[in-house]
C-alpha cells in the first residue's frame, strides 16, 4: 500500500489456549495499559505487550459452566458476554474486584445466548439469540464509580415507552428491550454521537433505532446475513443546531459486513439505501464471514477481518459525501486461520497496531506506519 509501511513485529504461539473457531470477536488490544485480552472458553486470558513482547499473565475465570462469546472494551471497562446470557463488567484498573454481572434472559425463550455488544458514553446494548436487543443506562448501572454496587442479577425489565434511559428514580438497573428482528443478532453498534443504534441480523435486516426511545427509524432487508457493522463519520461533518434527531443521520455512512462482501449504506433524503453494493469482495475461499470492521479516521484505514480466512485486508478510504476507496492491501498468513483481531491507533502518531489471533494459537502483532 503506497504511503503505508506494514510489518509483522511479533508472532508467538500459546499452546495452552482453549479457543473456538465460531465465537465472535474475542480479542481486545489496550495500548494505554499495554495489555492484550482474550476470551477463551470460560476464562479471560491477559497478556502484557510491554516492549512489544507477549508475556502471558494470570487468567480470570467466569462461571465454570459458561462460555465467552465476545469481549469489548470501553475506556477502563472490560465487558464479556456469554452463552448463559450474562454480561460481566470488569474494571481493568482494578481487575481483581468482583465484576458487575447483568442477566440477559427472557422468560419462555429457550436460547438467550448473547453474541453482540456495544458501549458508548451513555449506554450499553447487547444482541442475542432471543432476537431481542437489550439496553441499559451506564449512569444507572453506576459502573463508572469505584464503589459500584454488585447487582446480583436483580433488575427491572421493561419495554420502551417513550421513557428516558437515564431515569434516576429507580434503584436497580432497568433493562429496555427492542424487538424488531426475526432471528439472531450477531452485531449491534452505536453511532459516534450515541444517539443511534444499528443492528444486523441473520434475518438479513440492517436496522437503525433512535436510542432514547427505541423507535426504529430505518431498515434495509438483505438476502444474506448481516455479521458486522461500523459507523463512519463524514469528513465534511458540520454541527447542526436542529433539535430534530434525524437531521444528524445523513452525517454518517454505515459499513456492513456479510459472508463474502462489504456494503456501504447511507441515509439520503430520508431514505436508507445501499450506495455501494460491491465495495469489497473477499477473493479467498477460506473465509466464512466478515467478523470485524474497524475504521480509523486519522489514518483513513478500514480493517476488514474475515473469520477463518488466511488473509485480512486494510482498505485505504476517504469518507466524504460518498466513500472514496483509494487502494487496499491483503495481508496473508501462511497456513494459519484467523479467529479474532483488534486495531488501535498509537496515541499522538500516525501509526497503529493490529493484534491477530489464529486457530493455530498464534498471537501476531503488526505495526502500520503512514
pLDDT at position 249: 80
Start-to-end C-alpha separation, the chain:
10
Q: 312-349: per-residue pLDDT in tens?
A: 999 887 765 556 666 788 999 988 999 999 999 999 99
Percent of the chain with pLDDT over 70: 84
CA-to-CA dists, residue 343 to 258, 277, 285, angstroms: 20, 25, 24
SS3 assignment, position 321: coil
DSSP state letter for 140: H
Q: What is the CATH number of the domain that holds 328?
A: 2.130.10.10
Mean pLDDT of the chain: 86
Range of the domain at 138: 5-369
Residue 182's beta-bridge partner residues? none
Q: Write the Ramachandran bin of 276: left for phi over 0, alpha for psi from -120 to 50, otherwise beta.
A: beta
Which of 145-149, 203-207, 215-219, 244-248 has the lowest average pLDDT?
A: 145-149
The mean pLDDT of 203-232, rounded to a whole number, is 95
Do 48 and 355 meet the contact criterion of CB atoms below 8 Å apart?
no
pLDDT at position 175: 82
Q: Is the pLDDT of residue 170 over 50?
A: no
Q: Is the pLDDT of residue 247 over 80?
A: no
Q: How far apart are CA 266 and CA 345, in angstroms?
A: 26
CA-to-CA dists, residue 117 to 5, 25, 65, 176, 274, angstroms: 32, 10, 21, 15, 24
Q: Is the pLDDT of residue 354 over 70?
A: yes
Split into its structural domains, the chain has a count of 1
Name the band, by pLDDT with cuts 50, 70 and 90, for residue 158: very low
Q: Which of 156-160, 165-169, 324-328 has the highest mean pLDDT?
A: 324-328
Q: Is the pLDDT of residue 31 over 50?
A: yes
**Strand-pair category, 156-159 with 228-233:** unpaired
The mean pLDDT of 66-80, rounded to a whole number, is 96
Instruction: Please name the helix (run of DSSP H) or strand (run of DSSP E) that holds residue 20, with its range, or none.
Output: none
Q: What is the pTM of this model?
A: 0.90
Q: 99-151: per-residue pLDDT in tens?
A: 888 888 888 999 999 999 999 988 999 999 999 999 988 766 665 554 444 44
Amino acid at each position: 500500500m503506497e504511503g503505508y509501511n506494514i510489518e509483522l513485529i511479533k508472532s508467538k504461539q500459546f499452546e495452552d489456549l482453549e479457543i473456538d473457531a465460531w465465537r465472535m470477536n474475542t480479542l481486545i488490544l489496550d495500548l494505554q495499559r499495554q495489555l492484550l485480552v482474550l476470551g477463551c472458553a470460560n476464562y479471560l486470558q491477559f497478556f502484557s505487550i510491554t516492549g512489544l513482547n507477549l508475556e502471558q499473565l494470570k487468567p480470570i475465570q467466569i462461571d465454570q459452566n459458561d462460555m465467552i462469546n465476545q469481549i469489548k472494551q470501553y475506556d477502563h471497562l472490560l465487558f464479556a458476554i456469554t452463552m448463559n446470557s450474562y454480561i460481566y463488567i470488569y474494571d481493568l484498573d482494578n481487575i481483581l474486584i468482583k465484576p458487575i454481572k447483568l442477566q440477559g434472559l427472557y422468560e419462555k425463550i429457550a436460547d438467550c445466548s448473547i453474541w453482540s455488544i456495544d458501549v458508548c458514553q451513555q449506554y450499553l446494548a447487547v444482541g442475542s439469540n432471543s432476537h431481542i436487543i437489550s439496553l441499559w443506562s451506564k449512569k444507572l448501572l453506576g459502573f463508572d464509580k469505584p464503589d459500584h454496587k454488585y447487582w446480583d442479577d436483580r433488575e427491572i425489565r421493561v419495554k420502551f415507552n417513550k421513557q428516558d434511559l437515564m431515569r434516576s428514580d429507580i434503584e436497580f438497573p432497568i433493562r429496555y428491550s427492542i424487538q424488531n428482528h426475526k432471528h439472531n443478532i450477531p452485531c449491534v453498534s452505536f453511532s459516534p454521537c450515541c444517539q443511534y443504534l444499528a443492528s444486523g441480523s441473520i434475518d438479513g435486516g440492517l436496522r437503525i433505532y433512535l436510542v432514547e426511545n427505541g423507535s426504529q427509524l430505518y431498515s434495509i432487508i438483505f438476502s444474506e446475513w448481516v455479521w458486522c457493522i461500523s459507523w463512519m463519520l463524514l469528513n465534511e461533518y458540520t454541527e447542526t443546531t436542529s433539535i430534530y434527531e434525524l437531521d444528524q443521520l445523513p452525517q454518517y455512512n454505515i459499513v456492513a459486513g456479510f459472508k463474502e462482501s462489504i456494503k456501504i449504506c447511507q441515509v439520503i433524503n430520508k431514505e436508507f439505501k445501499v450506495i455501494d453494493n460491491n465495495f469489497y469482495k473477499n477473493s479467498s475461499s477460506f473465509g466464512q464471514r466478515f467478523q470485524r470492521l474497524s475504521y480509523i479516521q486519522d489514518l483513513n484505514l478500514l480493517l476488514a477481518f474475515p473469520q477463518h480466512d488466511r488473509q485480512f485486508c486494510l482498505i485505504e478510504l476517504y469518507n466524504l459525501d460518498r466513500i472514496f476507496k483509494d487502494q487496499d492491501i491483503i495481508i496473508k498468513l501462511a497456513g494459519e486461520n484467523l479467529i479474532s483481531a483488534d486495531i488501535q491507533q498509537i496515541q499522538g502518531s500516525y501509526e497503529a497496531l493490529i493484534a491477530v489471533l489464529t486457530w493455530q494459537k498464534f498471537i501476531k502483532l503488526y505495526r502500520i506506519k503512514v
